[in-house]
């Protein structure tokens, strides 16, 4: 069929409609712009919807992939044991494998304040932190050894393994020795890449554990408490135990203070420079009480506790756990501190710890840790430009270490001396942390796992050194660090 003949000039989009006025032309253009805007908006909405759909698909795929490999035998036994021990967890949670161990992942949206885990007191493992604490009847066989070793962290590790018939599936969830990367497990070839201050602390912990186990052997308890399980249990205590005010009845775990939260992650006092698990736990509980955030039962003993399932949650800087004890029903309750989307890992903070504290106590380092700070030992006089005169001035003031947390200007030394010691200390530390040495470190350490942790620690140390060099105007040091 032929088209009708065209009369007059063809119409174009920027021309008024035939027979329209100038005003009608303006109205048309406005209408056209409006339609164009609507089209663009509709496209953006559609694009956003498509991106959301793709993200949801990726999340579901990640959950399926993780679920496909989640059912290792240890996790299956642990889940069965939790059910038999009346440990309740949200149906929206899964224990899944991650790069180095396991993690707790949310499989459906989870709202803030909702209950994550509920743990009866009888399913926890606790000891009093007082060296004079009486031994409970079921541990009577440990009495001579117990009196000789007052550290609650070592006692709790021994108690857990001694009662492994009751807590076996939980013990199976602990890290195997080859995956414990805390420096007390390192060999000499690994320790050479750490500052001497960290090496001494790691060696002190190792020696304490060796002495404790030698005494267990002498008491004829090596069968009841095998060495590998004892060391694994101690790492769990050192990295995941909680401390607070409470009581430890013979067959029950800690019943903490009535009326409020009285719990704090062991090691929470790292900001005070406390590195012993026992001292850190006691100081952490004291900090909580001093803050007025807790109501403490008078004359309640200090306790150190392992809380199965709750301690499966990994660390990330930020909010501490919303963990409370219901004394009426004898239940621990862990609640979400924020909303979680499907596929997100449930995490909470083990305390404000810098990279050194995380490495020593837990065996990992967190990237871009908001609580990180630089602590460096002052070098010897005559090295890195530090004069004997300034070194003597520091010694008189009792200064052996510098903490780059904004408080250096308050040190009781002259401004000239402070500038000199800061530059010397930074130059000393930079020599041990050059980026060009990373490849050598990775080749010489005893295992790939230790290599990953050590390289991460070195990377975070470089960030702190560069920030300090910039603040104190030692600009040429940055190039040396990145060399």
d(CA 115, CA 113): 7
State the residue for tokens 């224990």. Answer: 95
> pLDDT digits over 354-371, tens only?
999 999 999 999 999 999
Q: Kindly list the distances between the CA atom of residue 191 and the CA atoms of 201, 248, 357, in Å, as whole numbers in the listed order.
A: 11, 39, 16
Q: What percent of the chain has pLDDT over 90?
A: 63
Strand 102-106 with 125-128, pairing: unpaired
Question: Please, what is the end-to-end C-alpha distance for the chain in angstroms?
Answer: 80
d(CA 290, CA 292): 5
Percent of the chain with pLDDT over 70: 73
Give the CA distances from residue 96 to residues 22, 29, 93, 355, 403, in Å, rounded to whole numbers and listed in that order: 70, 59, 9, 26, 39
Q: What is the mean pLDDT of residues 442-471?
A: 96
Q: How many residues belong to the chain?
A: 483
- DSSP output for 354-388: -HHHHHHHHS---TT-TT---EEEPPPTTSTT--H
The pLDDT value recorded for residue 6 is 39
Would the pTM count as exceeding 0.85?
no
When pLDDT is averaged across residues 234-262 and rounded to a whole number, the result is: 55
What is the 3-class SS of 157-197, one letter each residue?
Answer: HHHHHHCHHHHHHHHHCCCCHHHCCCHHHCCHHHHCCCCHH
Instruction: Please give the pLDDT value at position 24.
Output: 52
Residue 158 predicted with pLDDT over 70: yes
Q: State mean pLDDT over 233-240.
A: 95
Longest dimension (CA), the chain: 114
- DSSP labels for 207-267? HHHHHHHHHHHHTT-TTTS-HHHHHHHHHHHHHH-EEEE----TTS-----TTS--EEETT
pLDDT at 380: 95
Of 274, 286, 360, 352, residue with least CA distance to 315: 352
The mean of the pLDDT values for the chain is 81
Cβ contact 245:257 at 8 Å: yes
Highest mean pLDDT among 46-55, 212-221, 323-332: 212-221
Where is average pLDDT lowest: 23-27, 69-73, 260-264, 386-390? 260-264
Strand-pair category, 314-315 with 347-348: parallel
Using the predicted structure, report yes or no on whether residue 34 has a pLDDT greater than 80: no
With both helix axes pointing from N to C terminus, report the angle between 448-471 and 415-430 in degrees, rounded to the nearest 10: 150
Assign 95 to helix, strand or coil.
strand
Q: CA-CA distance, 468 to 423, in Å (whole number)? A: 10
Res. 60 pLDDT band, cuts 50 70 90: low
Better-predicted residue by pLDDT, 436 or 55: 436
């Amino acid at each position: 069929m032929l088209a009708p003949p065209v009369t007059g000039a063809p119409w174009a989009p920027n021309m008024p409609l035939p027979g329209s006025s100038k005003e009608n032309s303006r109205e048309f253009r406005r209408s056209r712009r409006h339609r164009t805007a609507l089209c663009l908006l509709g496209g953006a909405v559609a694009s956003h919807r498509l991106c959301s759909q793709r993200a949801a698909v990726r999340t579901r795929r990640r959950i399926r992939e993780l679920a496909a490999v989640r059912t290792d035998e240890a996790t299956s036994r642990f889940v069965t044991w939790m059910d038999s021990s009346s440990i309740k967890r949200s149906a929206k949670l899964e224990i899944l494998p991650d790069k180095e161990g396991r993690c707790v992942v949310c499989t459906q949206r989870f709202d803030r304040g909702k209950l994550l885990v509920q743990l009866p007191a009888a399913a926890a493992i606790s000891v009093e932190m007082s060296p004079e604490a009486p031994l409970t009847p079921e541990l009577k066989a440990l009495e001579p050894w117990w009196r000789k070793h007052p550290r609650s962290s070592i006692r709790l590790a021994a108690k857990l393994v001694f009662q492994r018939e009751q807590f076996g599936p939980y013990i199976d969830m602990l890290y195997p020795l080859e995956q414990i990367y805390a420096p007390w497990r390192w060999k000499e070839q690994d320790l050479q890449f750490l500052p001497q201050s960290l090496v001494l602390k790691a060696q002190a912990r190792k020696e304490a554990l060796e002495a404790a186990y030698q005494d267990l052997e002498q008491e004829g308890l090596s069968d009841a408490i095998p060495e590998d399980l004892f060391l694994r249990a101690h790492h769990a205590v050192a990295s995941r135990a909680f401390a607070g005010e409470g009581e430890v009845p013979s067959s029950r775990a800690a019943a903490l203070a009535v009326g409020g939260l009285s719990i704090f992650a062991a090691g929470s006092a790292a900001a005070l420079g406390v590195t012993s698990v026992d001292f850190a736990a006691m100081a952490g509980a004291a900090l909580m009480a001093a803050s007025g955030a807790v109501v403490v039962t008078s004359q309640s003993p200090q306790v150190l506790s392992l809380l199965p399932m709750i301690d499966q949650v990994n660390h990330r800087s930020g909010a501490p756990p919303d963990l409370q004890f219901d004394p009426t029903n004898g239940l621990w309750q862990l609640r979400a501190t924020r909303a979680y989307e499907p596929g997100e890992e449930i995490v909470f903070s083990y305390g404000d710890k810098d990279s050194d504290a995380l490495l020593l106590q837990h065996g990992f380092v967190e990237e871009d840790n908001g609580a990180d700070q630089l602590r460096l030992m002052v070098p010897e006089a005559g090295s890195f430009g530090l004069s004997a005169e300034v070194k003597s001035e520091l010694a008189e003031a009792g200064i052996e270490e510098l903490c780059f947390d904004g408080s250096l200007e308050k040190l009781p030394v002259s401004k000239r001396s402070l500038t000199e010691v800061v530059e010397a200390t930074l130059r000393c530390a930079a020599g041990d942390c050059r980026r060009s040495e990373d490849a050598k470190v990775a080749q010489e350490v005893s295992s790939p796992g230790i290599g990953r942790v050590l390289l991460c620690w070195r990377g975070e140390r470089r960030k702190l050194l560069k920030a300090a060099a910039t603040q104190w105007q030692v600009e040429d040091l940055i190039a040396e660090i990145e060399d």
